[in-house]
Amino acid sequence: MNITIDGIIGGALGLIGVFISLAYSSKLDKQNKEFQRQMEESRREHDLWSKKYSTLVQMISYRYDVKSDEYSAAMNGITATFYDSKEVMDAVKKFYAYLESGTVDSLQANERMVNIYSSMFKDLKIDQNVDEIFLSKVFNGK
């Protein structure tokens, strides 16, 4: 009789250990999946930030020749890279609306382009030392 009770108690403790292990394993699995999801989300955010940054750099780099293929490509790419930034998209809409108005003054057009650049810097959170006056000036060694 003693052996039977010891066997039952040992078996019960073994089952309890199995259930504890399963619960702990399930908890770790959930934590691991959540961590992987967060890492993937972080990677996607970083990739988008990098694409936005590249678009901004290309626009700033070629602003001396707004009719160049490089500048045009960057300008056209704004809608794909900054789709989630209302401020950037509004600045682009205002710029296009101004161009479609018919009478285009180069100073006014430049001001609207500077607004696009500024909003891009803000969206990327790298606007700490950006001066709009500097953005309106272009270095051209030609």
Over residues 18-23, the mean pLDDT reads 90
**pLDDT on residue 103:** 84
- First vs last C-alpha separation in the chain: 102
Q: Which amino acid is at 99?
A: L
pLDDT band at 12; cut points 50, 70, 90: confident
Question: What confidence tens digit (pLDDT) does each residue in 27-78 have?
Answer: 999 999 999 999 999 999 999 999 999 999 999 999 888 889 999 999 999 9
